[in-house]
Structure 1
């Protein structure tokens, strides 16, 4: 009977360690209120551009099924996937499934969209050079496009 508290403490410590490993590194941010996505998207700007570093770094977190509209970045963008499973598609190319740990390089001026798979959250760190202009937004992603059709 004396071993029960020791085992309990060990399991409690292990549970806390696992939970700490799964906790996000950066905060989720605020729910986006712009009209350039469907579903719930949280955004947190981590580092704004300035006179020395002319790029921004932001954290984006998507609820299952949430996605951004078609858009392009004049200076391109790099996405470091930090959580879940999502989709990425460039105009005229097949939709790709992307996972935690992968990197997407959105080429300058190329129209594309990205978002969460239907049954998974999805998050990434986005690095965007801003000196060439802001994101240009286009139309909504259709249900057919989201499902993998063109």
Structure 2
């Protein structure tokens, strides 16, 4: 499967968060000042666990899709296919996951929305049975 051309360089293996992903991902931090922004690249079939961005106020995450094809899903809702140019606004407190399509690399820029008392809660995996049902 061919890799993708992305607007931002692919970072190194996402070792710090590997335990929260099925498959291999890569992380290139673009900004750690003011607003935390990272370019995340997923190999085909890679996805992160269900998770929630918590905040007392503000917070959440914005995904700016830059290359390849992927998926985003909120708990209790159908999955949404993602393509370059798509934007996903994820409010604080919403359980969700995101990752690559089975047959495509995928990259997005993840923007952490500033807020008060922000934290991430990592939850269960998106198992193969759930994932394989996606068209």
TM-score normalised by the shorter chain: which range applies?
Answer: 0.7 to 0.9
Task: Tell me if structure 2 keeps the 8 A contact 1:86–1:120.
Answer: yes
Kindly indicate whether residue 12 of structure 2 is the aligned counterpart of residue 43 of structure 1. no
**Separation (CA, whole Å) in 2 of partners of 1:108 and 1:72:** 7
Q: 2:38 is matched with which residue?
A: 58
Normalised by the size of structure 2, how large is the TM-score? 0.85
Normalised by the size of structure 1, how large is the TM-score? 0.77
Structure number with higher strand proportion: 2
Could you list the structure 1 runs, at least 4 aligned residues long, displaced by more than 2 angstroms after superposition: 22-25, 129-132
Structure 1 counterpart of 2:13, from 26, 31, 37: 31
**Separation (CA, whole Å) in 1 of partners of 2:72 and 2:81:** 7
**Separation (CA, whole Å) in 2 of partners of 1:86 and 1:133:** 26
Cα root mean square deviation, aligned? 1.6
Structure 1 counterpart of 2:119, from 134, 143, 147: 134
Q: How much does 1:44 deviate?
A: 1.1
- Larger radius of gyration, structure 1 or 2? 1
Structure number with higher helix proportion: 1
Query: Structure 2: which 5+ runs fail to align?
Result: none
Aligned length: 124
